[in-house]
Amino acid sequence: MPLNYLDLFAGAGGLSEGFIKAGFHPVAHIEMDRAACFTLKTRSAYYWLKQHGQENVYDDYLNGRITREEFYAHVPLEVLNSVLQRTMDENNLDEIFGRIDELRDGEPIDLIIGGPPCQAYSLVGRARDEHGMIGDSRNYLYRLYARFLEKYQPRYFVFENVLGLLSAKESNGDKHFDLMRKTFSACGYTTETKVLNARSYGVLQNRKRLILIGKLGGSEGFYPKIEQMPTDQYLVKEIFDDLPSLQAGGGVPTPVKTKPYHGTYLYRAGIRDPGDRYEMVSQHYARPTNAHDKAIYHIAVEQWNHSKKRLMYTDLPAYMRTHKNLDSFLDRFKVVAADLSYSQTVVAHLAKDGHYYIHPDIRQNRSITPREAARLQTFPDNYYFESVSGRPSRTYAFKQIGNAVPVNLAFSIAKAIRECFIHPDDYPKETEGIIHFKP
């Protein structure tokens, strides 16, 4: 029997995709963002169609031969309805529980995964808010998470968030991290935490995340040993080498054929499928640039080429600055250097400021495309990012991709959690880097 899980605050499904790859079964995804919910529905539809030998329907949709409504009509309603678009609060939890109980049909919930929106905990978010996010309602979403633990009593849960959670405080100085773990402890869970860098788990990106794992009952020392996937032998250029070259404003959202690929990373990371009969990618189109964009790109590229230093906002001449904030969020211009073994963190706001791609042989002075960003996040090439309207939108895609947990990081965590279910007594445990809770 597959192990069943719920995904809370699911976003576009990066965390969930890793658990599906590891053999877990999603009972429901709960997410408030409408576009992300369509993405989750489309991915759920893809898996159902693949299971039933109807992948041609998915191809028809990506190529624009049928509408989203026509595409969804090929899939059972219970598959689409497993994605619940909800802004969770105490007033609608009973309704959500009722929908989940219908979907699980008496089966247990073995695992809960997910992490609340990070803005209230992030250092950038706190720096930009005049009150430092103190009192922000998003600080307390973990209490709703705890309600799901109380209701379903899964054997494990995985809670993901930014490192800023470790230092975020109440007005009286109490740390949200400590309050959160006390709440989970009151639900019957022992919790342990570790900071993981996606770069160590098959992702060519320097992206650190706090991964808290809870176990029902038990004692300290259970945090599973998560197998690393070193990537130092690869360069970022391998992510992009088989994609068609583009200028700013070029490309199309519909599938295009890739160039011949002779590497190994895209297969090892699960981005490209060795059995993919089409070798096509969608959403490979760059946003247009104006004269102001090009001037900033030029400075960013020249500074990187000259000193290997990434452009900070304060490096720009005053007349080129369009934001008043000179104290935080200064690294909004992120150069993706193809000749390094990792990139900077892919962020949700890249639709506006962006990452700029420098190829060692061909200078592509433009923002990266949604497909390039998705590959940096190790999403499979057949993963499609939806908009609200059903029409292609770089803005919606970038927001979802930047907020997502890299799929390969999620997959590494999921494999370790699965072994905890199969071999609870003799599966190897982590011994270093664990943050223990002291109530």
Q: What letter represents residue 33's amino acid? A: D
**CB-based contacts of 165, cutoff 8 Å, min separation 6:** 118, 121, 176, 177, 180, 210
- Catalytic, 118? Answer yes
Rama region for 74: left / alpha / beta (φ>0; ψ in -120 to 50; rest): alpha
Closest CA to 420 of 178, 227, 156, 121: 156
Q: Name the token pair of 424.
A: 């609870």
Q: Which of 37, 118, 187, 420 is catalytic?
A: 118
Angle (CA) 331 384 234, round 5°: 55
Distance CA 427, CA 412 (A): 15
- What is the C-alpha to C-alpha distance for residues 148 and 71, in angstroms, rounded to an integer? 32
Q: Are 212 and 407 in contact (CB under 8 A)?
A: no
How far, in Å, CA of 98 to CA of 417, rounded?
Answer: 27
Structure tokens at 5: 């899980």
Mention every residue, 6+ apart, whose C-beta is less than 8 A from residue 318: none
**What are the backbone angles phi and psi of residue 271, rounded to the nearest 5°?**
-75, -45
Q: Give dist(CA 37, CA 30) in Å, integer.
A: 8
Q: Whole-angstrom Cα distance, residue 420 to residue 430? A: 12
- Cβ-based neighbour number of residue 241 at 10 Å: 18
Q: Where are the alpha helices (DSSP H) in 187-247?
A: 237-240
Q: Cβ(425)–Cβ(398) under 8 Å?
A: no
Q: How far is CA 309 from CA 5, 96, 361, 423, in A?
A: 43, 49, 19, 47
Contact 310, 333 (CB under 8 A): yes
Single-letter amino acid code for the residue at 221: G
Residues recognised as catalytic: 118
